[in-house]
Structure 1
Amino acid sequence: MKDFLKKLKKNPYMIAGLIITGLIVLLVVVGIFWMPYEPTKMSATEKLQGISFKHLMGTDNMGRDVFSRVMYGSRITLLIAIGTVLIGAGVGTIIGALTGYYGGAFDEVVMRVIDALFAFPSILLALVIVSVFGTGWSQLLLSLGIAFVPSFARIVRGEVLRVKSMDYIESAKLQGVSDIRMIFVHILPNIKNVLASSILIGFNNAVLAEAGLSYLGVGSQPPFASLGKMLSDAQQYMFTVPSICLCPGIVIVLMVLGFSFLGEGIRRWK
């Protein structure tokens, strides 16, 4: 524990990432058990109100409490980001590990497909997939997850190619270790820092992608609130009641900063 704290003190990126991400997680967890108002509750007499003790972040054009909607929207955005990374990292890691380990024609064929998919920006690829599966948060999660597979596959493949030529891998092969054990016991644990850093960068990109696609109207649909959708709905009122646009925007920025700092902190961890 003392060694961990000593390393943590020397890593300001990790400290900043833990603090910012901790605040976002706290907001989400509190929102599961308590909210000041129902996020979908409308009030015709309380439309477009500014920040007050009654409404900490004001109200939107339908009289809904922005703070409650930010709490709920943060949960939706974070869940979609987690699901996106689980799909992208899970499938991408398996593809990258297998292609990097076996190489040959299998590697050539699979990586050419991955390169073709990687040529498309993640959001554009997700838009194409959404057009097939339809709109909604579950469809968005699946689409972004598929779109994130190529980047994880390339990263893992490169690390596997680097690690598999090391002496201890050659020694394990001479001892007759099976391919599955070689990949999942001897190789992947030795690229865990790079993989963890990539996952956190993936969270960062997933938050931005979800917010961007929901802003365009292809993500979460009413009555579900997401931070990107809130920004889209509030943009025309940003000069009359700035809080309803700034508050969800600040939470998105904090999410991105938190995951970015954590990723850099892991990369610098020694």
Structure 2
Amino acid sequence: MKNSKLRKLSKNPYVLIGGIIMGLVLAMIILGIFWMPYEPTKMSASEKLQGISLRHIMGTDNMGRDVFSRVMYGSRVTLMIAIGTIIIGAGVGTIIGAITGYYGGMIDEVTMRVIDALFAFPSILLALVIVSVFGVGWTQLVISLGIAFVPSFARIVRGEVLRCKNMDYIENARLQGVSDLRMIFLHILPNIKGVLASSILIGFNNAVLAEAGLSYLGVGSQPPYASLGRMLSDAQQYMFTRPSYVLCPGIVIVLMVLGFAFLGEGIKRWE
């Protein structure tokens, strides 16, 4: 049964398309760990804003840095920030949602009112408020986005726990004297893994966009280091004179978002 479900998942067109897209992006990121054409922070006054050529396959930026090398490096930074964001957001949000959904009562009421209040703010705006407290930089951005993503995961997990906690297999486990923690983490959460996996992939999608938006505003990766959002910010004034400078990081952002979106939709349909 499990193998048949995995085969069905592997043949899902959404999963196939998403896997191919993300495979290409990950291949570039992994290649960039071991090899880059140029040092991504190396500047050359004589090679500013060059077009696409055999020497620089994506051209150079306004500081004479190789755009392809910076895209390789920036993609890694953007993905790592997204991973850190999801670890915090999904980890904390899942625990909060599971506990509030399972116990209910006053714990649920108070926690969900706080979650509702946080939901009143768009995630990027909430992250900007948190960044203003912690300061700018990669670590601060991961913490800020992670906190901003907690409410959405908490609500999703809470809803699934509320749906599952009165099912027959949970009642049977309760009659056998299974502890609450074992009930939550060994009986309920494994049975909502499909919804949680789909939510995590969609969360990656949103985290990439959020990182790009905040770095574009200057509160993420700081010069001379690159992220995809930071590259878009640096390139905006050269949109018409050197379009490859803008298009290359923009296309990678679009590919990441599409890849995670297709994978998330595929898992949702699989379930």
Which TM-score band applies after superposition, normalised by the shorter structure? over 0.9
Measured on the aligned residues, the alpha-carbon RMSD in Å equals 1.2
Equivalent residues in 2 for 1:91-110 (5 A)? 91-110=92-111
Shift of 1:223: 2.1
Shift of 1:10: 4.0
Residue by residue, what CA displacement relative to the aligned partner does 1:119-160 show, whole Å, maximum 9, x if unpaired?
110000000000000011110010000000000000000000
Residue by residue, what CA displacement relative to the aligned partner does 1:168-202 show, whole Å, maximum 9, x if unpaired?
10111111000000000000000000000000000
> Contact 2:9 / 2:267 at 8 angstroms: preserved in 1?
no
Q: Distance in 2 between matches of 1:39 and 1:247?
A: 15
Shift of 1:9: 5.8
Q: Given the two structures, how large is their TM-score scaled by the length of structure 1?
A: 0.98
SS of the residue 1:45 aligns to: helix
Q: Distance in 1 between matches of 2:111 and 2:193?
A: 23
- Structure 2 residues without counterparts, runs of 5 or longer: none
Q: Distance in 1 between matches of 2:10 and 2:202?
A: 22
Partner residue, 2:235:
234
Q: Distance in 1 between matches of 2:260 and 2:103?
A: 33
Q: Distance in 1 between matches of 2:236 and 2:66?
A: 16
Q: Distance in 1 between matches of 2:255 and 2:261?
A: 10
Q: Given the two structures, how large is their TM-score scaled by the length of structure 2?
A: 0.97
Partner residue, 2:246:
245
Q: Distance in 2 between matches of 1:4 and 1:114?
A: 35
In structure 1, give the amino acid aligned to 2:222.
Q
Structure 1 runs of 4+ off > 2 angstroms?
Answer: 1-6
Q: Identity of counterpart residues, as a percentage? A: 82
Residue by residue, what CA displacement relative to the aligned partner does 1:207-241 show, whole Å, maximum 9, x if unpaired?
00000000000111012200001001001111111
Partner residue, 1:132:
133
Q: Distance in 1 between matches of 2:183 and 2:120?
A: 31
In structure 2, give the amino acid aligned to 1:181.
R
In structure 2, give the amino acid aligned to 1:20.
I
Residue by residue, what CA displacement relative to the aligned partner does 1:81-101 show, whole Å, maximum 9, x if unpaired?
000000000000000000000
Residues matched between the structures, number: 270
Residue by residue, what CA displacement relative to the aligned partner does 1:49-84 show, whole Å, maximum 9, x if unpaired?
111110010000010000000000000000000000
The 3 A distance-change label for structure 1 pair 107 and 260 is same
- Structure 1 residues without counterparts, runs of 5 or longer: none
In structure 1, give the amino acid aligned to 2:268.
R
SS of the residue 1:50 aligns to: coil
In structure 1, give the amino acid aligned to 2:55.
K
The 3 A distance-change label for structure 1 pair 30 and 4 is farther
Partner residue, 2:124:
123
> Contact 2:67 / 2:245 at 8 angstroms: preserved in 1?
yes
Q: Distance in 1 between matches of 2:127 and 2:266?
A: 29
Q: Distance in 1 between matches of 2:3 and 2:160?
A: 31
SS of the residue 2:221 aligns to: coil
Partner residue, 2:42:
41
In structure 2, give the amino acid aligned to 1:147.
A
Q: Distance in 2 between matches of 1:8 and 1:169?
A: 27
Partner residue, 1:30:
31
Q: Distance in 2 between matches of 1:200 and 1:52?
A: 36
Partner residue, 1:114:
115
Partner residue, 1:65:
66
